[in-house]
Amino acid sequence: TVFDLSIKEMRNELKLCFLYISVFPEDYEIDVEKLIQLLVAEGFIQDDKEMMMEDVARYYIEELIDRSLVEVVKRKRGKLMSFRIHDLPRELAIKKAKELNFVTVYNEHHSSTTCRREVVHHLMDNNYLCDRRVNKQMRSFLFFGERRSDITYVETITLKLKLLRVLNLGGLHFICQGYSPWSLPDVIGGLVHLRYLGIADTVVNNLPDFISNLRFLQTLDASGNSFERMTDLSKLTSLRHLIGRFIGELLIGDAVNLQ
């Protein structure tokens, strides 16, 4: 097909960007900033002497638009804010991603034990994150659930996955056995390789001290949450993006790349 030929002609970085879009649910309005932050965290975007990594990633997304693989949903003053992927290109991205073992989308019948990226679009069983088989190859776990879903008892998958770079848990409520309500599970503090932590709309109302352990963290997306007490992020010197409502004192150290 024309789309097959288009992909074959892509340079590797652009192809990775296209394949990564397959992690998002069908008909999902993809936030450009979120995608850019994920691509950077995954290590798909190389440093450029003249452009920041985020600008390079944005250039790739605009190129996908030029190739008619994705369609613009929203621009603001000319700046791309969100887009959707067409059905046929999405099917192709999913097919290629599966062939390359690039990403696996979990369902109740199958869960890869070798793929480095796993995505959950819907949880059929609230105990999924507790009972699943451990994939020690996993470097990225992304959950895209309904914000009002009845997911109230969730044990995170992070207990044995010490090499995770990307963890997106937006929408999950951390009311778990052994944890205080509205706080992050302590095991996240052991994920010292994390580059991206997404906890948007998780009803978390404080960031625990163990956040300081995440020295390589580039993006902390806590949008939809409010933090009233002092938040100390002074040790997160790799931080590039901080999203959230911080009412109390916010300590930012020498995060020279913070945007």
Instruction: Write the pLDDT tens digit of every residue in 147-166.
Output: 443 334 344 455 667 889 99
In terms of pLDDT, which residue wins out, 184 or 103?
A: 103
Q: Please give the model's pTM, rounded to 2 decimal places.
A: 0.89
Could you give the C-alpha distances from 137 to 95, 101, 248, in angstroms and in order? 21, 12, 38
The predicted-structure confidence for 61-86, as pLDDT tens digits, reads as follows: 999 999 999 999 999 999 999 999 98
pLDDT at 216: 96
CATH number of 103-252: 3.80.10.10
Question: What is the percent of the chain where pLDDT is above 70?
Answer: 78
Average pLDDT over residues 26-39: 96
Residue 127 has pLDDT above 60, yes or no: no
In terms of pLDDT, which residue wins out, 6 or 16?
A: 16
Average pLDDT over residues 223-236: 82
Residues with Cβ within 8 Å of residue 253, at least 6 apart in sequence: 233, 234, 235, 236, 237
Contacts of the segment 90-98: beta carbons below 8 A, 24+ positions apart: 90/21, 90/22, 90/26, 92/1, 92/3, 92/4, 92/7, 93/18, 93/19, 93/21, 93/22, 94/22, 96/7, 96/19, 97/19, 97/22
Domain ranges of the chain: 2-90, 103-252
Which residue's entry shows tokens 């693989």?
A: 69
Smallest CA-to-CA distance from 153 within 177, 123, 178 is with: 177
pLDDT at 251: 81
Q: Please classify residue 81 by burial: count the beta carbons closer than 10 Å to its beta carbon, then call 0-12 exposed, 13-18 middle and 19+ buried.
A: middle
The CATH architecture that domain 2-90 belongs to is: Orthogonal Bundle (1.10)
